[in-house]
Structure 1
Amino acid sequence: MQLKSTRHAKYLCNYHFVFIPKYRRSILDKYKEDLKDIFHQIAEKWGFEILALEIMPDHVHLFVSAPPKYAPAQIIKIFKGASSRELGKRYPESKIKGSELWARSYFVATAGNVSSDVIMEYVKEQYFKEAKKNEKSE
């Protein structure tokens, strides 16, 4: 996994989410390909990167990298809310409407592989950038 950048931050924020349909119904096989497509569209729209995605009959594993401005609770709310709405649009005959697809609960864990050496190197790099900037302004 690689460090990512925004204009003002370097980051490695990876989250492993597991979530289930309401009542842990085994209904996801029917919508598997649509859900994969929908999750990827959501990730692209919000600037997330899906690192891994597994859709089982009764639960989803979503491993995603997201900018640090998003809290994990926001990320899962975005994925669950948007996917439920979009699936409801694609299958209007189904009972999937708004909050009818996903249970409210979820599991989240963080994952990363930045070593102490990488952190120290980054701190040194910032120090030298600041020193060079100060030299130029003198």
Structure 2
Amino acid sequence: MTRKVRRFSGGVYDLGLHVVWCPKYRRPVLVGRVAARLEELIRAKADEKGWEVIALEVMPDHVHLFLKHDPKASASYVANQFKGFTSRVLRSEFPHLKSRLPTLWSSSYFAASVGAVSEATVRRYIDTQWERPWKKDTGGKGA
């Protein structure tokens, strides 16, 4: 596999980040139209920032995102860009998210740079989320 690097005036980089975040109280509210819209919003924000989405999986109670980002963006900045933007838009478009949750997202998140494991391993992990037996009874993506 050829490594794709990006260049900017100060250097060359190839930064991969695996980010996971959950709705408040880990409520399974990311289904159906909400899940589809969330995916659209995440991709739009990534495009706006010039980040490349490598893998994305919206589960009913959490989100897995693997992306390539620029060296000036910290993991906390990346996570908070997605969480803040998507919360604002989703809560305005889906009023039931306001009535059920005081805030859409939990204040925490998980972030890991993709260097300790291969990109293929992270991609496979995210792509096989729906194959995990303890997730099959949640109604699936289209619920």
**Structure 1: which 4+ aligned runs deviate by more than 4 Å?**
none
Instruction: Determine whether 1:20 maps to 2:22.
Output: yes
Structure (1 or 2) with the larger CA radius of gyration: 1
Q: Aligned partners of 1:9, 1:71: CA distance in 2, in Å?
A: 17
Question: RMSD of the alignment, in Å?
Answer: 2.1
The secondary structure found in structure 2 opposite 1:86 is helix
Q: Which residue of 2 aligns with 1:49?
A: 52
TM-score, normalised relative to structure 1: 0.74
The Cα shift of 1:88 comes to 1.9
Q: Give the number of aligned pairs.
A: 113
- Consecutive unaligned residues of structure 1, counting only runs of 5 or more, are 114-138
Q: Residues 93-115 of structure 1, C-alpha deviation per residue, up to 9 Å, x if partnerless?
A: 5417xx711001111111146xx
Q: Which residue of 1 aligns with 2:89?
A: 86
TM-score, normalised relative to structure 2: 0.72
Amino acid at match of 2:65: L
- Consecutive unaligned residues of structure 2, counting only runs of 5 or more, are 119-143
The secondary structure found in structure 1 opposite 2:70 is coil
The secondary structure found in structure 2 opposite 1:2 is coil
Matched-pair identity in %:
37
